Amino acid sequence: MARILKEYPSVALKPENLDGKIDFVRVFGRVGPVHIEIGAGKGTFLLNQARSQPGNNFLGIEWARKYYRYAVDRIGRWGLTNVRIIRTDAVAFLADFIPDNSVECFHIYFPDPWPKKRHHKRRFICPANLEHLVRCLKTGGQLKIATDHADYFEQIKTVLTVWNEKLQEIDFLPTAGAEACEWVGTNFERKYLKDQRPIYTLAVRKM
């Protein structure tokens, strides 16, 4: 029998209810470091990380409706109060709604690599989006990226070099849900490891 997915208003953040830059204190009902995952999928990372870091606030952005609904249901069933999930376009959301110097960490794990050359312009990690990521990070804030796609990883490193004066490379530490030989413990990572694909990681801190 298919799982019946419930809507949890306390978890789901609706784009139509937003008006200008987000007040994270209002969204979460408390003060706390804000972590944003771009491409939350079914919420595996959010669930594990939010449970292990109850003092932090987590916002997941997911466009695919079926994954968004699953993630909302999953977080709601666990009763986590420090997670919100929004279904929206991450590029526009980043540019229009996230305030300057407001985010402790951006998590981008296994973004769509758009492998065909004519589609490379659709890749999320690009100069324009990176400019917004850096703008939104607090001083000392981090950007953590993981991918299984070697070509995309090389592009990511190239894009980041432009920000060498603002971003310092640091060690990529495994997340709370990562098991032995894993970095982030997401469904995609486990699938790729099973297929014996190499995983590439990168972490930087805003200076």
Tens of pLDDT along 78-88? 999 999 999 99
135-155: average pLDDT:
96
Q: What are the pLDDT digits (tens) for 27-64?
A: 999 999 999 999 999 999 999 999 999 999 999 999 99
Query: Which token pair is 195?
Result: 């297929």
What pLDDT score does 170 carry? 98
pLDDT of 132 higher than 90:
yes
Could you tell me whether strands 57-61 and 103-109 are parallel, antiparallel, or unpaired per DSSP bridges? unpaired
What angle (nearest 5°) sits at the alpha carbon of residue 103, between those of residues 120 and 107?
Answer: 45
User: For position 3, what pLDDT does the model report?
Assistant: 78
CATH class, range 23-206: alpha beta
Tell me the per-residue pLDDT of 193-204, one tens digit each, with 9 for 90 and over. 999 999 999 999
Mean of pLDDT over the chain? 95
pLDDT of residue 12: 96
Q: How far apart are CA 10 and CA 55, in angstroms?
A: 17
Measured CA to CA, the distance from residue 82 to residue 111 in angstroms comes to 24
Q: What pLDDT score was predicted for residue 114? A: 84
Residues above pLDDT 90, as percent of the chain: 92
What is the pLDDT, as a whole number, of residue 2? 67
| DSSP symbol at 118 | G
Q: How far apart are CA 103 and CA 144, in angstroms?
A: 13
- The pLDDT score that the predictor gives to residue 4 is 86
DSSP conformation letters of 156-205:
HHHHHHTTTTTEEEE-----TT--TT-SS--HHHHHHHHTT---EEEEEE
pLDDT of 67 higher than 90: yes
Give the residue numbers marked as catalytic: 112
